[in-house]
């Protein structure tokens, strides 16, 4: 999928509220619907503003259902009543200015926020029908059902081979034939096999940054996760390595359900099937990526994806 926004944007621009002039006149041929009240200003004032969810999102079978989800860090609310479905075997991108809650929402899916003090949640998430926040849910088992890749590559200080089969080892798999098969399959799936097949016993720390990130993806998919979570996986990579990871994400489409956080609008347009625009912890608009980038419903969404604020 290749949809280019009108303007490039700084991938780490600070959070800013758009000026009224920036939102007064849509720029696309398909003019987005205007609102009698500036949604983003209303949100900044603490008002409740409903999300715009495109009709197609209700037709996609979900792997993950997020229902009226709220999250607080102490007294500060970071996520406000988000309801959205993540489609099965598709790539969904979360975009929005820094501090809008993208990574907080992503980390809530595998309950990484449980590790922080003073975190409180309300609402629910369901992974293939199972409540993630049910008191009976085993968090370790839950995380085994997901793959997580962080901003910076984090290979373990062991061989390339042992990195890939790590999840199988801790589950008790000792059959060398099974481990070899999964290792090759995962490295091929991460487009890394041809580069490392003769170096499997070497330390993973000797790989380049881009190779290490693809190794982390191989390690994640070795466990055949129900959903793959990517938290700005290219933010620490050079353009060539970023291109390889983006190609990999597109190859994973149809086989894995991917939820990716990115600041890069062009990356979202290239790699994702669906895009959700977030602002100050709220879901603003959610729909097919082609529609979000070429004919969004809201003028605020168009202003963001075309680089007129952010």
Residues 263-281: tens digit of each pLDDT:
999 999 999 999 999 999 9
pLDDT band at 155 (very low <50, low <70, confident <90, very high): very high
Answer whether residue 12 is part of any domain.
no
Answer whether residue 47 is part of any domain.
no
Could you give the CA distance from residue 279 to residue 243 in angstroms, rounded to a whole number?
27
Number of folded domains that form the chain: 1
Answer whether residue 28 is part of any domain.
no
Answer whether residue 3 is part of any domain.
no
pTM (global) more than 0.75: yes
What number of residues does the chain have? Answer: 310
Strand partners, 76: 73
Q: Where are the alpha helices (DSSP H) in 4-146?
A: 39-44, 102-109, 139-144
Per the structure, the complete domain to which residue 143 belongs is given by: 63-305
Lookup result for tokens 């290219």: 234
Answer whether residue 97 is part of any domain.
yes
Q: pLDDT (tens digit, 9 = 90+) per residue, 81-111?
A: 999 999 999 999 999 999 899 999 999 999 9
Query: Residue 161: which CATH number?
Result: 3.40.50.300
Could you give the CA distance from residue 103 to residue 233 in angstroms, rounded to a whole number?
12
Answer whether residue 25 is part of any domain.
no
- Which of these ranges, 38-42, 110-114, 143-147, 288-292, has the smallest mean pLDDT? 38-42
Residue 68 burial (CB count, 10 A) = 11
Residue 212 in this model has a pLDDT that exceeds 70 = yes
Q: pLDDT (tens digit, 9 = 90+) per residue, 255-265?
A: 899 999 999 99
Answer whether residue 41 is part of any domain.
no
**Contact between residue 307 and residue 6 where contact means Cβ atoms under 8 Å apart:** yes
Could you give the CA distance from residue 137 to residue 217 in angstroms, rounded to a whole number?
25
Answer whether residue 76 is part of any domain.
yes
């Amino acid at each position: 999928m290749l949809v280019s926004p009108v303007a490039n944007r700084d991938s780490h621009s600070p959070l800013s509220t758009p000026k009224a002039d920036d939102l007064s006149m849509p720029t696309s041929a398909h003019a987005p619907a205007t609102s009698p009240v500036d949604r983003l200003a209303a949100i900044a004032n603490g008002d409740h503003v409903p999300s715009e969810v495109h009709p197609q999102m209700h037709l996609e079978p979900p792997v993950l259902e997020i229902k009226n989800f709220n999250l607080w860090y102490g007294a500060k609310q970071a996520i406000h009543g988000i309801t959205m479905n993540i489609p099965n075997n598709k790539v969904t991108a979360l975009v929005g200015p820094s501090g809008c809650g993208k990574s907080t929402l992503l980390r809530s899916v595998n309950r990484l926020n449980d590790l922080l003090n003073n975190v409180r949640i309300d609402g629910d998430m369901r992974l293939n029908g199972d409540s993630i926040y049910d008191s009976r849910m085993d968090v370790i088992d839950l995380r085994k059902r997901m793959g997580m890749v962080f901003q910076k590559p984090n290979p373990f200080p062991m061989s390339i081979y042992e990195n890939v089969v790590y999840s199988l080892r801790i589950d008790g798999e000792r059959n060398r034939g099974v481990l070899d098969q999964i290792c090759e399959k995962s490295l091929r799936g991460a487009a890394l096999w041809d580069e490392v097949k003769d170096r499997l016993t070497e330390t993973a720390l000797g790989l380049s940054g881009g190779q290490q990130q693809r190794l982390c993806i191989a390690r994640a998919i070795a466990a055949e996760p129900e959903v793959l979570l990517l938290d700005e996986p290219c933010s620490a990579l050079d353009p060539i390595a970023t291109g390889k990871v983006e190609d990999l994400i597109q190859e994973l489409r149809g086989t894995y359900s991917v939820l990716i956080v990115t600041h890069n609008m062009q990356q979202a347009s290239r790699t994702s099937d669906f895009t959700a625009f977030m602002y100050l912890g709220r879901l603003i608009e959610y729909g097919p990526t082609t529609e979000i980038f070429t004919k969004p419903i809201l003028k605020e969404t168009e202003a963001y994806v075309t680089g007129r604020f952010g």
